Chains A and B, each alone.
Chain A
Amino acid sequence: EDQVTQSPEALRLQEGESSSLNCSYTVSGLRGLFWYRQDPGKGPEFLFTLYSAGEEKEKERLKATLTKKESFLHITAPKPEDSATYLCAVQRDSWGKLQFGAGTQVVVTP
């Protein structure tokens, strides 16, 4: 059975303190791995799609990487506005079906 596990469940950072979130997965026929950001009371906001091991993508203070078993979301010098829950999801060959992890709640304090 496919599994997506995110760690840690929660992360508290000081402003400027870089860290990484982990998304480990077991899925046959990975089509893509997606990262989303979700603010309280809102829908998830798309960040990145990674398709193959070794691929990296960056956006402002965020950088996502992918290996054959896991993905990392690196947050460099975070600011309070980076506080959110970060979700990863995997897509198999099945059309349209995303399987989400439980998320990592990140709080960045000034």
Chain B
Amino acid sequence: ETGVTQTPRHLVMGMTNKKSLKCEQHLGHNAMYWYKQSAKKPLELMFVYNFKEQTENNSVPSRFSPECPNSSHLFLHLHTLQPEDSALYLCASSQGGRDEQFFGPGTRLTVL
């Protein structure tokens, strides 16, 4: 595997389900990010992790819960989501906080 990988690529869930998105970076980077991309809207930064420590929570609802067990892996735990949470969820990583970010292919999430 190379670059940034995300699983699953597609996810359909009901509003009462609990699911998790997984991201893994194979670039030796120190920082990882979660973004949300909705149709016709700019990418929205959700969370930032630097050396496994969360440094940014961009006013994200508590039904989204991130976890970063090490600098290579990042999870987004989802529970009791709403239909408006349907979007493409993108993971990214960078060497440092001020370097270019490299993105994974995303998870297309549909909440019924």
Contact = CB atoms under 8 A, between A and B. Distances in A.
Interface of A: 4, 31-32, 34, 36, 41-46, 49, 87, 89, 91, 94-103
A95 B101 contact: no
Contacts, number: 61
Interface residues of B, number: 25
B45 interface: yes
Interface of B: 4, 31, 33, 40-43, 45, 48, 50, 55-56, 90, 92, 94, 97-98, 100-106, 108
Nearest to A46: B100
A32 B79 CA distance: 35
A99 B50 CA distance: 18
| Top 10 A-B pairs, shortest CB-CB distance | A43-B103, A95-B97, A96-B97, A100-B43, A100-B42, A96-B48, A44-B103, A102-B42, A46-B100, A43-B105
B42 A96 contact: no
A32 B103 contact: no
Contacts of A100: 42-43
A70 B88 CA distance: 28
Candidate in A34, A41, A45, A95 with the most chain B CB atoms within 10 angstroms: A95
A32 B98 CA distance: 8
